[in-house]
């Protein structure tokens, strides 16, 4: 009888040790995935913000901004980022076209909206696409850029000389737009239950180059 109890106790100890090893292994796998995911999102966000700023720095180049405005098109939409029927939403810029280097138009688009659970939140995430066209070559845009990770937010605002948001930049008088403010949020590529980063936020305000 004691022999059977000893065997049972030994079996329980072995099972507990094996379980602990499996849990430890699983946690190590999660940590590796988490670290990889965090590295990917940080590196990609840094690169995205740099070339986005480089793009926007060319806005209105070769234009007389006291006579013309550099914004060709700006479309915003309210996205309900949680459960369907939620009364709260976020405003995102779904399309933005601006002049760059005079004869070139650059277009940003949010495409392929899908829903994704991020830390219990039902977010709408988008692909970011960039395309350009040379005005003299015709109306067709050529896709030549984008962002590999999903965005949960992307918003472009234009500010006046006092830093106030211009409600309708397309209808604003030339010389009114002084700053471009861009903000976005990146969602991690892998959703790990204990992940420390699930969304990474970025914001920047860029001064338009007026010849004064």
Residue 25 included in any domain: no
Domain ranges, residue 36: 31-207
Please give the C-alpha separations between residue 207 and each of 14, 49, 53, 161, 177, in angstroms, as whole numbers: 66, 16, 11, 10, 9
Residue 193 included in any domain: yes
**Is it the case that residue 209 has pLDDT exceeding 50?**
yes
Query: What band does 192 get if pLDDT is binned at 50, 70 and 90?
Result: low
Residue 64 included in any domain: yes
> Token pair for residue 105?
């138009």
Residue 21 included in any domain: no
Residue 9 included in any domain: no
Residue 6 included in any domain: no
> By percentage, how much of the chain surpasses pLDDT 90?
27
Residue 148 included in any domain: yes
Q: What is the pLDDT, as a whole number, of residue 193?
A: 60
Nearest by Cα to 186 from 169, 207, 201: 201
What is residue 135's DSSP assignment?
Answer: G
Most confident of 11-15, 20-24, 82-86, 108-112: 108-112
**67 or 195: which leads in pLDDT:** 67
Most confident of 4-13, 18-27, 159-168: 159-168
**144 or 84: which leads in pLDDT:** 144
What is the overall mean pLDDT for the chain?
78
Predicted confidence (pLDDT) per residue in 47-102, tens digit: 888 889 999 988 888 788 888 888 999 999 887 655 555 556 778 999 999 998 76
Q: What's the domain count of the chain?
A: 1
What predicted TM-score, i.e. pTM, was given to this entire model? 0.79
Q: What is the pLDDT, as a whole number, of residue 102?
A: 65
Residue 13 included in any domain: no
């Amino acid at each position: 009888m004691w022999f059977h109890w000893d065997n049972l106790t030994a079996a329980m100890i072995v099972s507990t040790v094996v379980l602990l090893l499996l849990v430890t292994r699983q946690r190590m796998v999660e940590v590796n995935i988490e670290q990889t995911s965090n590295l990917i999102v940080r590196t990609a966000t840094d690169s995205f913000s740099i070339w986005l700023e480089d793009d926007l720095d060319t806005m209105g180049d070769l234009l007389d901004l006291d006579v013309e405005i550099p914004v060709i098109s700006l479309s915003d939409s309210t996205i309900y980022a949680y459960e369907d029927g939620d009364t709260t939403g976020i405003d995102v810029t779904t399309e933005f076209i601006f002049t760059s280097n005079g004869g070139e138009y650059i277009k940003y688009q949010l495409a392929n909206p899908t829903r994704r659970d991020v830390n219990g939140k039902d977010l709408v995430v988008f692909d970011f696409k960039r395309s350009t066209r040379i005005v003299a070559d015709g109306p067709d845009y050529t896709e030549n850029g984008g962002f590999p990770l999903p965005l949960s937010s992307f918003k472009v605002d234009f500010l006046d000389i006092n830093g106030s948001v211009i409600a309708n930049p397309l209808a604003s008088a030339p010389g009114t737009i002084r700053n471009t403010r861009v903000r976005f949020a990146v969602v991690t590529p892998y959703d790990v239950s204990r992940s420390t980063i699930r969304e990474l936020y970025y914001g920047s305000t860029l001064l338009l180059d007026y010849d004064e």
